[in-house]
Amino acid sequence: MTDIVAVWQIPASDGVHSVEFEHGTTTGKRVIRVDGQEIFRAEWMFKLVGKEHFTVGKAKCCISIDAVSGFAYEYDLEVNGKSLQKFRENQSKIMKSWTHNLNGTDIRIVLEKDTLDVWVNGDRVETAGAFVDDGTETHFQVYSHDAYIKATSSGKRKVGIVHKLYIEDMEIPEATE
């Protein structure tokens, strides 16, 4: 029997990571799993509340365990010093991601807008930039298929630059993470 009390999804350049937290409210047991791999375990802890620090890729994470009332507890995840909600909002500003099934294989492509790095299923790929009449194109390969991300101005200051992914000249819709 497991005491899983929380599961979170953390979006990152190299993929969406799943964090599971087990908390035994009678023994104080704490177990943290990232993407199914156990990274922390403490069996007997007399202090049932507190914080557990760990990393997921380059992100520094912290689970806070707080007593709400009696034997009820609240669990919060912070990523890089921000609540998970704020971290996700920030990630959506600095990353653009797409998911697509290509010849029976699910792929996830991420553009880091600040570095212009492109990631395919967690691996950074080599890119080549090109200026075109209405913006720029970043060309790369997705499992031997030609792909590019086109960046054009939206014409609106609040919207900024619009990024679109094309694989073999077919536009791929943006992921909803």
CATH code (residue 132): 2.40.128.180
**What separation in angstroms does the CA of 107 have from each of 113, 122, 150, 164?**
19, 9, 18, 16
Output 78 or 174, whichever has higher pLDDT: 78
- Average pLDDT in the 100-126 region? 92
Strand-strand pairing, 128-132 and 15-23: unpaired
Query: Does 86 map to a domain?
Result: no
**What separation in angstroms does the CA of 86 have from each of 92, 116, 121?**
10, 22, 24
- Average pLDDT in the 151-158 region? 88
Query: Does 141 map to a domain?
Result: yes
pLDDT digits (tens, 9 = 90+) for 21-70: 999 877 778 999 999 999 999 988 777 888 999 999 889 999 999 988 87
pTM (two decimals): 0.77
pLDDT computed for residue 175 by the predictor: 83
Distance CA 114, CA 128 (A): 16
Could you tell me which of 14, 13, 47, 53 has the C-alpha nearest to residue 32?
Answer: 53
73 and 109 inside one domain: no
User: What's the pLDDT band for 87 if we cut at 50, 70, 90?
Assistant: very high
| Residue 117 · residue 124 · CB < 8 Å | yes
Q: Which domain holds residue 132?
A: 93-172
E strand or H helix at 91: helix 84-94
- Average pLDDT in the 114-140 region? 93
Residue 111 pLDDT exceeds 70? yes
pLDDT computed for residue 12 by the predictor: 87
- Average pLDDT in the 113-117 region? 90
Query: Does 87 map to a domain?
Result: no
Q: What are phi and psi of 160, to 5 degrees?
A: 80, -140
pLDDT computed for residue 9 by the predictor: 95
Distance CA 138, CA 60 (A): 30
Could you tell me which of 86, 77, 30, 29 has the C-alpha nearest to residue 56?
Answer: 77
